[in-house]
Structure 1
Amino acid sequence: MESQQAAPTGAPASTWCGELELTGAPAVTGVRPYGGQPRARVLVRLHGDPVGYVDVPAAGAGPDAAEVARAGRERHAPPIAAHLEAEGVRWAPGDEVPAPAAGCPGLVASDTEVTVVVCTRDRGQALAGCLERLAALTHPHLELLVVDNAPSDDGTRRVVEAFAARDPRFRHVVEPRPGLSRARNRGLTEARGAVIAYTDDDVAVDPGWVQGLLRGFARRPDVGCVTGLVATAGVDSTEEAYFDARAASWSTRCEPELYDLAGSARDDVLYPYSAGVFGTGANFAFDTAVLRDLGGFDEALGAGAPTRGGEDLDVFVRVLRAGHALAYEPAALVWHHHRADHAALLRQLYGYGTGLTAYLTKCLLQPDVRRDLVRRIPGGVRHAVEIRRRTGERLGEDVPPPRGALASEVRGYLTGPALYLRARRASARSRASA
């Protein structure tokens, strides 16, 4: 389920993705090296804040920074002007962009202790790249916790110990029971920080990621969860193009937003159960005490459980129903490497399907939620059809949907309820024997 946010359309099957800071950055940079792609999608940033994307031609050494800056100032003049006005600076689209002033929101410091948790299983090579980016985080009060989930060897431990030898912020713990929610709950048990942030081992975090998350918590005193922008790291295959088109609700939005159940009226007929609008588990953080009060993640949901997903959707709604607010903060930026081959994409889409209907089954099993949700089912069906239509529009005519994508997701929808009931029984037996 996703938001109505517009996304870049007509993306070809090979698009280089990068970013440019408007205040004089000499080049466009990306988490993947430029490889001769004919087009580039560039995230334009102002004093670190994402303001929007521009699509430009690319050749030679990559997209021209001056052209990207010109296009960015022209296309995203309103958010640029609003950002600078908040700093007390008047600006017109033809002007150069000044350096940050004293009132720049990105310069706000915090002494909050933050625990960053990465859950991983037998992916030492991918993990090393993730940890390199975590080591470059600039927030001064950090604990970096790697949860080694049901490992088959000591590869992950050796990778983490190598990082810990030069950076004592890193810590390695083992969760012997397989499952992402179990691993995340182990991280919650171990966390020392007042805020706990989660990301995945296929994600590259921005150096200012944690400061962005903390800005989300500072927006209102009742914020219990913050999600952030998960930008596409690259589009080098039809499969990546399709996933990119599907992920627009959390990969393109550059405006902060607050959600709650008290005063935030939403046009979405499924709100708040259309939980994909809030963000994704690749980039979210919680007030540690709030998450502990909620009991952590539902271990019958998530990767590694039969349901394969849905744990992030579930916890978002539980945060809201407990009376807390949720903040979407684009300054909390990470870059995501999408599924690049056909089989991996189909498995991911199947897991999206099972996770969604497993989470909805959990909602239907709660009498107070069931009454509210059942009346929204017709609108939900229309919403699902609309998602597919908008995904096709974003892909454009040049990139056909991968064969079997819809069928895999529909199979997931159909099997998710039974998988949740099975996982729920298994989780209860596991707790009883513990």
Structure 2
Amino acid sequence: MSGGYTPITIELSDALDNPDRRYRPDAGDDGIACTVRDEGALVGFSLHPSARMGPAGLRAGDAVDDEVRQAAICNRLRPRVPADIADAHKITVAICSRNRPVWVARLLDSLLPLRREVPCEVLLVDNAPSDDRTKDVAEAREGVRYVREPKAGLDFARNRAVAEASGRILAFLDDDVVADPNYLIGLRRAWLENPDAGAMTGLVMPFAVETPAQVLFEKRGGFRRGFRPLRFGARRFRDQLHPCGAGSFGAGAHMSFDVELVRALGGFDEALDTGRPLPGGGDIDMFYRVLRAGRPLVYEPQCTVYHEHRREMSQLRHQFYTWGLGFMAYIAKSMRTDPEMRGPMWRTVRWWLRYGVRLLRDDITPFGMVLAEFRGGVKGFFGEYDRSARRSERIRREVA
């Protein structure tokens, strides 16, 4: 068997009207990955293994639980954004990429048509490319502004976007995502409803669940943070880790900011997200700094993208390693730069260790994945930030 799951999308009203309708996985697949929409809005996602469904397949009513119903009710009760204020905030969407022209083309082809409803600037930052293939992709499409950032490292590229953006709202999309048809509408809506926000993240759905590695990642929860909007302030009473556990706010694959705030904060930390030795942490570091600056962070599930998860177990294991590396490097850095928060940061370290133990007991995450994340975390906490900072400084000198 392939180990993959057959994707289906069902409409909530159809599932409620015909709860006994059945869906079967494709031949060779191990189950069904079910997305639920309500009048176009995403309100649910669930995995259904064949072993639990039985030969009859997935019953439509079983894909609609209380969480789906509550998400649908929440979305229907929200006020609609008037069309005549579509340009209230100018938006720049930045794509930072290095040597992945095929994925960039796929993302642009999903994003550019959406500007008919919500105009925006599309900025492609080509990060220290080895050839002109990404430039060719940009030049073949109307309405893409191309810039080349010679300093290799994702946060160098992000800071180039911060400097170049003409919009008040700067959205970042990783090159391995595809935009949902509602992406720009949801982005505009979130910022109009939360004019005081400093940052926004959105729903990240799987582009495919075709391999065991992709299924495993989604069983762990993927990048999803639910289907109801959330708003995080600088403080959350009863949460002793807030805002240190910044990974709970969303994913850097899909985030946006008040660009003037990012400029005031000095931009992204270029010692984080620099590729090897430290390929992570820049997004959660910025989320944390936004909240510490007193500005809210909003999670908007109707602003959605689809992420190409790692296909192979070896790739996923490395991703677990880099998550631990980036997260704990951010913790170590923040303990130094924000001494007032050392107590919550130490509590976050203890939580992270307990979380790893829970993963070992959940019968979902393989031991090797948990060990990889732990190894990355230990390396990130003990000196990797400083090593990466020295590397970033060398890059600046060499390119200057």
TM-score (norm 2): 0.84
CA contact (8 A) 1:229 1:331 kept: yes
CA contact (8 A) 1:114 1:193 kept: yes
More helix by proportion, 1 or 2? Answer: 2
Following superposition, the deviation at residue 120 of structure 1 comes to 0.9
CA contact (8 A) 2:241 2:347 kept: no
Decide whether aligned partners of structure 1 residues 106 and 39 sit closer, same or farther in structure 2, where only a CA change above 3 A counts. Answer: farther
Matched residue count: 378
Decide whether aligned partners of structure 1 residues 317 and 266 sit closer, same or farther in structure 2, where only a CA change above 3 A counts. Answer: farther
Counterpart for residue 370 of structure 2: 406
Output aligned runs, 1:120-159, within 5 Å: 120-138=97-115, 139-159=117-137
* Deviation per residue, 1:182-206 (Å, 9 max, x gap): 0111111111111110011110111
Counterpart for residue 86 of structure 2: 110
Counterpart for residue 5 of structure 2: 15
Counterpart for residue 245 of structure 1: 219
Counterpart for residue 181 of structure 2: 207
Q: Is 2:341 the partner of 1:369?
A: yes
Give the whole-Å Cα distance in 2 for the aligned partners of 1:74 and 1:357. 35
Q: Is 2:154 the partner of 1:189?
A: no
Tell me the SS of whatever aligns to 1:192. coil
Following superposition, the deviation at residue 373 of structure 1 comes to 2.0
Pick one of 51, 58, 64 that aligns with 2:43: 51
* Deviation per residue, 1:251-294 (Å, 9 max, x gap): 251011100124x3254x42211111100100100011111111
- Say which is worse superposed, 252-261 or 314-323, in terms of deviation: 252-261
Following superposition, the deviation at residue 376 of structure 1 comes to 4.8
Counterpart for residue 21 of structure 2: none
Q: Is 2:319 the partner of 1:348?
A: yes
Decide whether aligned partners of structure 1 residues 256 and 338 sit closer, same or farther in structure 2, where only a CA change above 3 A counts. Answer: same
Which runs of 5 or more structure 1 residues have no equivalent in the other structure?
1-11, 26-33, 59-65, 88-102
- Say which is worse superposed, 409-418 or 424-433, in terms of deviation: 424-433
Q: Is 2:198 the partner of 1:224?
A: yes
Pick one of 250, 257, 260 that aligns with 2:233: 260
Counterpart for residue 42 of structure 1: 34
Following superposition, the deviation at residue 309 of structure 1 comes to 0.3
The alignment's C-alpha RMSD in Å is: 3.0
- Say which is worse superposed, 350-359 or 377-386, in terms of deviation: 377-386
Give the whole-Å Cα distance in 1 for the aligned partners of 2:359 and 2:238. 18
Amino acid at match of 2:160: R
Following superposition, the deviation at residue 14 of structure 1 comes to 1.3
Q: Is 2:379 the partner of 1:415?
A: yes
Amino acid at match of 1:352: W
CA contact (8 A) 1:353 1:409 kept: yes
Decide whether aligned partners of structure 1 residues 106 and 351 sit closer, same or farther in structure 2, where only a CA change above 3 A counts. Answer: farther
TM-score (norm 1): 0.78
* Deviation per residue, 1:315-342 (Å, 9 max, x gap): 0000000010000000010111100013
CA contact (8 A) 1:42 1:68 kept: no
Decide whether aligned partners of structure 1 residues 69 and 290 sit closer, same or farther in structure 2, where only a CA change above 3 A counts. Answer: farther
Give the whole-Å Cα distance in 1 for the aligned partners of 2:95 and 2:289. 22
Decide whether aligned partners of structure 1 residues 244 and 106 sit closer, same or farther in structure 2, where only a CA change above 3 A counts. Answer: farther
Which runs of 5 or more structure 2 residues have no equivalent in the other structure?
16-24, 51-57
Decide whether aligned partners of structure 1 residues 371 and 114 sit closer, same or farther in structure 2, where only a CA change above 3 A counts. Answer: same
Counterpart for residue 425 of structure 1: 390
Amino acid at match of 1:284: M
CA contact (8 A) 1:352 1:412 kept: yes
Give the whole-Å Cα distance in 2 for the aligned partners of 1:431 and 1:422. 15
CA contact (8 A) 1:39 1:57 kept: yes
Decide whether aligned partners of structure 1 residues 191 and 414 sit closer, same or farther in structure 2, where only a CA change above 3 A counts. Answer: same
Give the whole-Å Cα distance in 1 for the aligned partners of 2:325 and 2:67. 39
* Percent identity for Structure 1 against Structure 2: 36
Counterpart for residue 119 of structure 1: 96
Tell me the SS of whatever aligns to 2:297. strand
Q: Is 2:113 the partner of 1:170?
A: no
Give the whole-Å Cα distance in 2 for the aligned partners of 1:197 and 1:318. 17
Tell me the SS of whatever aligns to 2:310. coil
Following superposition, the deviation at residue 105 of structure 1 comes to 5.3
Following superposition, the deviation at residue 425 of structure 1 comes to 2.7
Output aligned runs, 1:251-400, within 5 Å: 251=224, 253-262=226-235, 264-267=236-239, 269-366=240-337, 367-390=339-362, 392=363, 395=364
Counterpart for residue 180 of structure 1: 154
* Deviation per residue, 1:229-249 (Å, 9 max, x gap): 10112222221122223344x
